[in-house]
Structure 1
Amino acid sequence: MSVDILLSNLNKVRKTGPNKWAACCPAHDDRGPSLAVRELDDGRVLLHCFAGCEPEQILAAVGLTFDALFPERLAGDSLKRERRPFNAADVLRCLSFEAVLIIQYANEIARGEPLSEKRKQRLLTAASRFQRGLEVANA
C-alpha cells in the first residue's frame, strides 16, 4: 500500500519529517493530532496513537485492513526489524496539543481556579499520553 491511501483518509495531516506525519486518530474523538505515521524505506507503514488506540482500530475506522501497512513482498525479500520507530521529536509533535492543554490547566490551578471533574479527568488523560510518549520514545 502506498502511505498516501492511509493519509488521504485522515484529518489534520501534517508532515513532521521525511516519511513522517502526524494526524488526528480516526478511532477516537481526536481534536489534535495524536496519531504518528511513519513509512519505512522498505514500504512498511508504522502507526502509533498516543491515546492508546490499536492499529486494527485505526485501520478499521478508515476502512482498511492490517495488511495495508505492508508492501507487496517479492520472493526472497526479507524485512528488517525497526528498533525505534519514532524518535523523541516525533513524539513531542504528536503531544503538542496535550502540552497546550496541560499549560492552560496549570495556569488555572495557579490562579486558584477550581477544575471541574471533567477537566480533571482530561488533565489525567493528557498526563497519561505524555507517559506513553516517553515509553514510545524509549526515554
Structure 2
Amino acid sequence: MDSNRSWDTITAALNRVSGPGRRGADWTTYLCPVHESDGRHHHPSLGVVYNRQRGRTVVRCFAGCPDEQVLERLGLRIRDLFDEPRAPAGARRTHSPAVALADQALQRAGLSLEVHKRDLGPRLANPKDVATYLYRWPDGRSAGCVVRVHTEHRNGRAKSFRQYRRTESGWTPGGFAHLPFHLPEVLDAVRSGRDIHICEGEADALTATHAGLTATCNAGGAQGWHPEHATWFTGAHRVWIIADRDAPGYRHAARVAESLFDLVRELRIVQARDGKDLTEHCDAGHHISDLDPVPVLDAHYCLRSHDR
C-alpha cells in the first residue's frame, strides 16, 4: 500500500485519536478531533477520501473546522495529505494536459488562444457595488462573500470583485475557504443524485438557479478553481460544466473536469449556443437544454466517464 501513503498516515492517526471510522459509499467518516473530542455522543462529521488521480488524501470537516486544525490535533502536517512531496513553491510548472486539451478545443471551435482585453477608454464614474454573493458552510453558516463592482467607462463597463471572509469579529477583507457557491444545495444534490451545473461565475449560477437547476461556481472567476472545490462533489451522479466561450472559459472548464473525474460518475461540458456565457444564452431566448457540447472537451470527459 506504499502508493497510498497519505491514506495510511491519515487514517492511522484518526483511528488512534478518534477511534474507528465508518465506511460510506465515498467518504469514510470519523469524529472530528477538533470539535467532537469531548467524549460526548456525536454524529461523525469528519470525512476522509482518497483521490487516486492526484495521489493525495482529502480531509473535510463538514461542520467547518479548518484542515490545518484537524491535522494539528492529529500531530500531522499539510505535507502528510500527499503521497509524494509537492514541488517547492515557485517551481516552474509545465502546461497541464487539461489546459493543452482546452487549447485543442479552442482551435476546433475557431476561438483565439489569446486573451484580448477591450480598451474601455477613460472612466466616467466611481466604482459601484452592484451585487453581493454569500458563500456558506454546509450547515448554512457564512464563510465569505464576493462583492461585484461595476465601473462605467466611455466605451463600456468594467467589472471587478472584492472578497471578504467571516470571522468571529465580523467581515474581514480577503479570501476565504475554497467552497463552492450554494454549497448546502450542492451537497443535497449529491446525496439525492440530482444533476449539478458548474458555471464560471455567480451571475451565471444564479441564472441557472432561477431556471430551477442546482448550480454553483467558485469565487475568483476562471483562475479561482482549486482541487479543494472538487472534493465537495464526491459521489455526484452527473455534473454539467458550462464553459464561457473564450480561452479562460475553456481552460477553466478543463481544469474543473480533470479535478472531478475520479470523484463523480458522469461529466458533461457544454457552452452557450449564442453569446459568451449562460446568461447571454438565456437572454437570446434559448433553454438550458439548448446548450451545445464543447468540442473535444465534452467528448473526452464524457467518454472517459462511460468507459469506467
> What is aligned with 1:22?
29
Cα–Cα, structure 1 residues 74 and 2, in superposed 2: closer, same or farther, change >3 Å?
closer
Structure number with larger C-alpha Rg: 2
> What is aligned with 1:8?
12
Instruction: Give 1:67's match in structure 2, choosing from 72, 76, 79.
Output: 79
Residue 131, structure 1, aligned to residue 181, structure 2: no
Q: Which has the higher contact order (CA 8 A, sep 6+)?
A: 1
Q: 1:15 Cα shift?
A: 1.3
The one-letter code of the counterpart of 2:184 is: L
User: Which structure is higher in helix share?
Assistant: 1
Q: 1:17 Cα shift?
A: 2.7
> How many equivalent residue pairs?
91
Q: TM-score, normalised by structure 2?
A: 0.25
Cα–Cα, structure 1 residues 61 and 73, in superposed 2: closer, same or farther, change >3 Å?
closer
Q: How does 1:1-139 map to 2 (within 5 A)?
A: 1-10=5-14, 11=18, 12-17=20-25, 20-29=27-36, 31-41=42-52, 42-73=54-85, 129-131=138-140, 134=184, 137=187
SS at match of 1:72: coil
Consecutive unaligned residues of structure 2, counting only runs of 5 or more, are: 88-92, 99-136, 142-182, 188-195, 197-213, 215-308
Cα–Cα, structure 1 residues 73 and 61, in superposed 2: closer, same or farther, change >3 Å?
closer
Q: TM-score, normalised by structure 1?
A: 0.51
Q: CA RMSD in A?
A: 3.3
Consecutive unaligned residues of structure 1, counting only runs of 5 or more, are: 81-127
The one-letter code of the counterpart of 1:47 is: V
Aligned-partner Cα distance in 1 for 2:185–2:36: 23
The C-alpha deviation readout for 1:11-58, integer Å capped at 9, x for no partner, is: 24111135x311111111252210111110132111111121000000
Q: 1:2 Cα shift?
A: 2.8
C-alpha contact 2:63 2:139 (8 A) present in aligned 1: no
